Structure 1
Amino acid sequence: MPAANAPRASRRPRAARTAPPLGSLTQAAHRESALCGHCGSERVTQLSMSLTDGTPVQFVSCHVCEERTWNSAGGPLTVDGVLERTRKQ
């Protein structure tokens, strides 16, 4: 156990991450232009997220045809692929 008067080890500050610009689900002028890969509709919700295993993905859900896709740097993921990556070890 360190002595009561011993200085604490300094922590390195975390590198600041630049957040992507926020969009809007209600104001079309503030939305990013995303399209449904299935029907081509612009009425989609797009979210950036990280799966449990750390894989960054773009989730796109279409309000017209209800298609849902998860796109990673390696290409689109199947539902089974997403479920496999989100299982806790």
Structure 2
Amino acid sequence: MPSTRVASVPRQRTRRPAPAVPLGSLTQVAPSEVAGCPSCEAPRVTRLAMTLTDGTPAVFTSCSRCDHRGWEAEGSLLSIDDVLARTRRPV
């Protein structure tokens, strides 16, 4: 009887998907671990995580209830002047 030989197939590694990051939305209530509006505490806000030009990680929050617009970095609020200074490119 002829021998049956099975060709070995290399195993492919499967990557685990990265955990989903909760996104802000005006139509969804913020998850309990994500703060709402720092001004009126409304749960429906838009939050955008970004890195400013100087490398500072920041979060922009916009509230449609009270019209609050602001940036936070390292646990404190940033003024518009501070945000603009951190986003200027060196000349």
Please classify the TM superposition score into its range, dividing by the shorter chain length: 0.5 to 0.7
Given that residues 51 and 57 in structure 2 are in contact (C-alpha distance below 8 angstroms), is that contact kept between their aligned partners in structure 1?
yes
Given that residues 69 and 77 in structure 1 are in contact (C-alpha distance below 8 angstroms), is that contact kept between their aligned partners in structure 2?
yes
Partner of 1:3: none
What per-residue deviation string (whole Å, max 9, x for no partner) do you get for residues 26-46 of structure 1? 6526x4343111111112101
Matched, 1:82 2:77: no
Partner of 1:35: 36
**3-state DSSP class of the match of 2:86?**
helix
Given that residues 24 and 48 in structure 2 are in contact (C-alpha distance below 8 angstroms), is that contact kept between their aligned partners in structure 1?
no
Matched, 1:46 2:44: no
Give the superposition deviation at 1:20: 5.8
CA–CA separation in structure 2 for the residues paired with 1:20 and 1:77: 27
Partner of 1:22: 22
* Root mean square deviation of aligned Cα: 2.3
Give aligned pairs, total. 71
Given that residues 24 and 45 in structure 2 are in contact (C-alpha distance below 8 angstroms), is that contact kept between their aligned partners in structure 1?
no
